[in-house]
Structure 1
């Protein structure tokens, strides 16, 4: 008779304590934000969001877990660690501090918020190439969800080059349709959906473009990635120019809610916002293009080093 011994799943007590501490911290922030909103420092949430807090808090936790569990040859260089943390911090700052309140009362600050969570923050996170580090630090059940064929199929679909470029520019346009923008700024659920969609789309696009690996295993070639980085620049230039050179107020929400700086007129606010929607995104596209070319150069050098014949020792 053979006795089968079922192995009990191991419980990682330190990891559970870390997760519990993050949840407790979120509960405190939620309570303070709801009960004492006017007495918080600027770095505290103006309007606490569990979704935004949990996404950034657990991404940070899993990243440090992954770093701690990495073998010496798998550890990220310091600059890539800084790139990941800086990108995550920028997204958190514009979404979960008093900057969010300011962005709801000035159009040009709203544009800064969107540029950071759609371009600069995701760009820095993608540049870090921290995917494997994050995966290593995730709990097993989260890894199973991430590795599931449906999750992989969804990412493959959203990172098809044409669709990725369309979504990247299209979402920027969609949330700036005056009627849509007004509704999103006055509806908390739509406001969260707007911010979440912009951030997630930015991450999907820039992780596709800034993949440092050759294809395969990368989804597309370096040439396609370079083209993607440049092609999304032109729709954003057009949109920014339309706002920057308009002689009328297109977005009345900011007059309704009250402007943070009354000395700045509605049209001037919109002109500044148009320039912000035009210039920094274009700069990020050019930097992305140069970065892809550099990744291609490094990949070719690595390939040449592998295929270079080794000189045999001469016998005297």
Structure 2
């Protein structure tokens, strides 16, 4: 079922304003709780509340739900695509705004699980949802105008260039795992947020390029090239995972410095598990993406 309620479609702007107010109030409550009563916050609530993450998730969810009611039925994403959007958005929330965040700061392998969710699984699900038109349909007019502005389109087009997309996708994943860079990023709150945001934004941009359901044009590249992109990014990540898995020294001393959540797991074992997380799940996502690209090509009746 799709959502087609007047309080979501924008026909009742006062109701939409009320929802924005509720989002603000709930955010304020979460901020107060995590700031002044952190010991009373349950594990499913934010470990470290972030206004940017909270607003990004809640507003995207509201705009998507609202946009479903604004779009004609023929233009709405299918039910399974809507489900992919909600699961992807929920996953990004779960790994950044729950108690899992504490684990991600105390063990290397849980940190890798977090980044795989932010860079691969969550963005793949959001790209599969094809939810961009619905989000824009439900967003405020000023935001739609900003996205349609020539400068915004040029910037998006630059990031969607295949070479730029691959370099950023692979390069950022490697960059944040350079041991000295990783150590500083995990200790600096600002750099830590930059690292996490770069994983999500870059992941969404890359997988949106690869999993675009349209033929080229209007899509940026042909289906065959998209299939090559999906497979091509797999190998540098396999290499990175193998290097970390088979290392016999502690490459990431931050976790010993801050104290591992599971002290019975040694640094090398922690790295080995983390290396496997870098190695296997991203490779699986590339294979899944390849199958999706082939399916999209078949449904579009296009050639490679």
Category of TM-score, reference length = shorter chain: over 0.9
Gaps of 5+ in 1: 1-9, 304-316
2:88 matched residue in structure 1: 87
Query: How far does the alpha carbon of each residue in 1:172-209 deviate from its partner, in whole angstroms, 9 at most, with x for none?
Result: 00000111101110011000000001000000000000
Report the equivalent of 2:289.
Answer: 288
Structure 1 residue matching 2:301: 3-state secondary structure:
helix
Secondary structure in structure 1 of the residue aligned to 2:91: helix
**Structure 2 partner of 1:31:** 32
Aligned length in residues? 293
Q: CA deviation at 1:147?
A: 1.1
User: In structure 2, how many angstroms separate the alpha carbons of the residues matched to 1:253 and 1:298?
Assistant: 48
Matched, 1:58 2:49: no
Distance 1:97 1:106 in 2: 16
Distance 1:183 1:17 in 2: 41
Partners of 2:123 and 2:193 in 1: CA distance: 17
Once residues 252 and 22 of structure 2 are traced to their aligned partners in structure 1, the CA distance between those partners, rounded to angstroms, is 41
Cα distance in 2, alignment partners of residues 75 and 149 from structure 1? 26
Which segments of 5 or more consecutive residues in structure 2 lack a partner in the other structure?
1-10
Are 1:189 and 2:202 an aligned pair? no
1:256 aligned onto 2:257: yes
SS in 2 for 1:76: coil
In 2, Cα distance between the equivalents of 1:231 and 1:282?
A: 10
Q: Give the 4+ runs in structure 1 shifted more than 2 A.
A: none
3-state SS in 1 of match to 2:143: helix
Q: CA shift at 1:76, angstroms? A: 2.0
**Does the alignment pair 1:131 with 2:132?**
yes
Displacement of 1:40 after TM fit? 1.0
TM-score under structure 1 normalisation? Answer: 0.91
For residues 13 and 131 of structure 1, what CA distance do their matches in structure 2 show? Answer: 24
The yes-or-no answer on 1:217 pairing with 2:229 is no
1:161 aligns with 2:162: yes
Instruction: Return the offset for 1:124.
Output: 0.3
2:5 is aligned to: none
Cα distance between partner residues in 1 of 2:76 and 2:168? 33
Deviation at 1:71, TM superposition (A): 1.7
Question: What RMSD over aligned residues (CA atoms) do the two structures have, in Å?
Answer: 1.3
Which has more radius of gyration?
A: 1
Matched with 1:265 is 266
**1:52-100 residue CA offsets vs partner (Å, 9 max, x unmatched):** 1111110000000011222222222211110000001001100000100
